[in-house]
Structure 1
Amino acid sequence: MAALLVAGSGSAPAVPRALTSDQANRLAITRFRNYQAGGRAVTITVPGTAGRLIITGSIDYRDKLGYGAVHGTGRDTSSDGLIEWTATTVFVHPMANTPADAPASPPGSGWYGRPLQTSGSSLDSSLAIALSLGSDRPDNAELLPQNGAAWVGQGRLNGHQVDVMTGPSARATSGTGGSVRYWIGSDGTMYRVHVGVASESQPVVIDFDSQKYVPVRPLPGVTPTP
């Protein structure tokens, strides 16, 4: 993960500041930008007491469908493999030697499906959060500050000039701890998100454009849920 240098001290200011009109407008459109793009390449870092899971892949924000390769770090490889998910269902494909990047065409067999848990699972909370970061319309810029959004820093992230803003906890899906932080570019593009989850002391980290976007192909019989 690239480091973010926040103006002043190298870390976020202790006291968040009120959003300017421009910052509120950028925060209001940042999820809509993902929807406009159609899909984004993502790296999702899932916290866990037994070690982290890293999901490297893509999310189709029009069809609400994610797909990627899963690797454990600081833990065993029992959870490694491929994953595809919708707002309601998770499909996993265990692999002994998982590639760094998921193949563009998912395997036609060897998948196991289950319902996506709405609480108690940091993995499922992370998957749901990642899908929720796209919207077919902008949020209300005037309401964001009233609901707790604020500016907390600025700097550069992977070559992009960004502002760091907290978002209303209502944006987060169930199972989150209510703390949401966005790294947003000058045009409202989302580059990183940190979200606290109730079951873990460390946040979920979602990085965008971490690799080339590969369109997500649904598994046979998989229907995304709006």
Structure 2
Amino acid sequence: MPKARWIVAGSCVAALAVAGVVVAAASGSGGGGQRALSSEEANRLAITRFRNYEAGGRAVTISVPGPAGNLIVTGSVDYRAKLGYGVVHGTGRDTSSDGLIEWTATSVRVDPVTDAPATAPAIPPTTGWYSRPLQQTGSSLDSSLLIALSLGSDRPDNAQLLPQNGAGWAGHDQVAGRQVDIMTGPAANGSAGTAGTVRYWIGSDGTMYRVQAALASETQPAVIDFDTQKYTPMPSAPATAPSR
């Protein structure tokens, strides 16, 4: 079975590591210039990753930019197990990167599939999988997968530190008919010096509906949309073979 290109190397661009700094704030929809967060807005931004952890898992669609066309990952992330599973399709490119994918913060398992389904099967196939380390740098796909995993936390962030680190309010918007606020913030780990590098679309109760993050050497950001389909609990990990 032929290996997809992203089994070995992914896109040949500099990556955004979740623990590191991204290069520029992604532009977002919605009007209004950026201003300081109110106390209520800071509290919502502080709990938004905890909301994902509370939910256990969320359905996601991850749009990964690349010079050969985008990759779209449609699947689910278990924020307690720190595990993602889904299907990859290329848009504006050939189908050599299509297939099933499962990932953690340190590894990626892939199953190249001809005519990949629209959604990943609830029970993964038992053969055809390959594994490789998740690349901390050098792959826009791996960086986007890592960002998606980072968007859950077992405790709220510090609402007082977020404004001090430059988080702000950037406008109103709608996502799938829901009224949301766009807030800029530091990288998902809250590191100082990364203000404005990520945008969060957050509902009135702190639920996260979209995240947009710039990637080095890419003109378009990675975009993670939530609740784009029904959440499917994570399956047990399939047997894998190492990359060849």
So what's the TM-score if we normalise by structure 2? 0.82
State the alpha-carbon separation in 1 of the partners of residues 190 and 40 from structure 2: 23
Q: 1:172 to 1:138 in 2, by over 3 A?
A: closer
- Check if 1:42 corresponds to 2:99: no
How far did 1:157 drift? 1.2
Could you say which residue in structure 2 is the equivalent of 1:119?
137
1:97 is matched with which residue: 111, 115, 119?
A: 115
- What secondary structure is seen at the aligned counterpart in 2 of 1:101? coil
So what's the TM-score if we normalise by structure 1? 0.89
Alignment of 1:1-226 (within 5 A): 6=30, 12-13=31-32, 15-169=33-187, 171=189, 179-220=197-238
- What secondary structure is seen at the aligned counterpart in 1 of 2:36? coil
| CA deviation map 1:160-203 (0-9, x unaligned) | 11000001136389xx9972000000000000000111131210
- Identity value in percent: 70
How far did 1:220 drift? 3.7
Query: Tell me, which stretches of 5 or more residues in structure 2 are unaligned?
Result: 1-27
- What secondary structure is seen at the aligned counterpart in 2 of 1:211? coil
State the alpha-carbon separation in 1 of the partners of residues 88 and 134 from structure 2: 16
Give the CA RMSD over aligned residues: 2.0
| CA deviation map 1:128-172 (0-9, x unaligned) | 000000000000000001111000001221111100000113638
Q: Which structure's relative contact order is higher, taking Cα pairs within 8 Å and 6+ residues apart?
A: 2
Whichever residue aligns with residue 92 of structure 2, its letter is G
- What secondary structure is seen at the aligned counterpart in 2 of 1:171? coil
Confirm or deny: 8 A CA contact 2:166 2:195 kept in the other structure: no
State the alpha-carbon separation in 1 of the partners of residues 217 and 118 from structure 2: 27
How far did 1:27 drift? 0.2
State the alpha-carbon separation in 1 of the partners of residues 223 and 29 from structure 2: 17
Q: 1:218 to 1:32 in 2, by over 3 A?
A: same
Confirm or deny: 8 A CA contact 1:177 1:197 kept in the other structure: no
Could you say which residue in structure 1 is the equivalent of 2:3?
none
Could you say which residue in structure 2 is the equivalent of 1:9?
none
Task: Give aligned pairs, total.
Answer: 211
- What secondary structure is seen at the aligned counterpart in 2 of 1:45? strand
Structure 1 segments of 4 or more deviating over 4 A? Answer: none
